[in-house]
Amino acid sequence: MNKKSIVVLFFVIISFSSLHAQTTTTDDDRTFVPFMDLQVREPQSGREVAFSLQLLILIAIITLSPSIIVLTTSFLRIAIVFDFIKRALSLQQVPPNQVVFGVALFLTVFVMWPVFQDIYEDAFKPLANEEITMNEFYKNAEAPLRMFMFRQLDNNHENLQVFWKLSGKKELPQTLADIPTYILIPAFVLNELKIAFWMGILIYLPFIVIDLVVSSILMSMGMIMLPPVMISLPFKLLLFVLVDGWTLITRQVVLSFGGG
């Protein structure tokens, strides 16, 4: 818990105590200050032990939720491609990383919206109506996300085979449903990294050509001490703006996930 959270919690407790002191009085007009106690004791039964472990697992999942969202959605590929754009253009501060990751986040929501909608309709809504149990909620919420990751793997199941063998399993799976999620996620992550770097290389190529041409011209003119980046940067920016680079790359990135 950081300092800001501690300060906010302190003011909430003080405000609650003040409000309760103003509304609650005894016969002799004395204020009442609530007593707060936190006890740590040994569990009395196995059910209490299981509940404590479930609580710890839930806290761990909430803590790791940003990483889980990054590694199981389209955010990873989009963020890497946008970072390659900045590096190819030789831009350091423009646009800021917060803007780049913000755009990647909203594009992730756009790409993943059908998946999120299926999770809401098949898992969250029935659970809120008390129509399914927590185990059914987990399975229904996991199914659309697994299907999305399988679609991105397409026919390239090499990573699945690698992690399947590393897990010590000998019999090959008959269907995709037989592949556990803990094998699917690392295979999906490696596939996303591979695709993102391929797209980054293709983005780099035209800008490398511009750098080579500018460097050759400066060398032939004897301007050895002049950094080529200072001359090539305006030309790269001009080329990127003329071809409407942001729209073009964003469209191709979204289409790479199987969009229309």
pTM equals 0.71
Parse the chain into domains and list their residue ranges.
1-37, 70-255
pLDDT tens digit at each of 260 positions of the chain = 554 555 444 444 544 444 444 444 444 455 555 555 556 666 666 666 666 677 777 787 778 878 888 888 889 999 999 988 888 888 777 788 888 888 898 999 999 899 889 888 888 888 888 787 878 888 888 888 888 888 888 766 777 777 777 877 767 677 777 788 888 888 888 889 988 999 988 888 888 888 888 888 877 777 777 777 777 788 888 888 888 888 888 898 888 887 54
pLDDT for the residue numbered 2: 52
> Using H for helix, E for strand and C for coil, what is the string for the chain?
CCHHHHHHHHHHHHHHHHHHHHHCECCCCCECCCCCCCCCCCCCCHHHHHHHHHHHHHHHHHHHHHHHHHHHCCHHHHHHHHHHHHHHCCCCCCCCHHHHHHHHHHHHHHHHHHHHHHHHHHHHHHHHCCCCCHHHHHHHHHHHHHHHHHHHHCCCCHHHHHHHHHCCCCCCCCCHHHCCHHHHHHHHHHHHHHHHHHHHHHHHHHHHHHHHHHHHHHHHCCCCCCCHHHHHHHHHHHHHHHCCHHHHHHHHHHHCCCCC
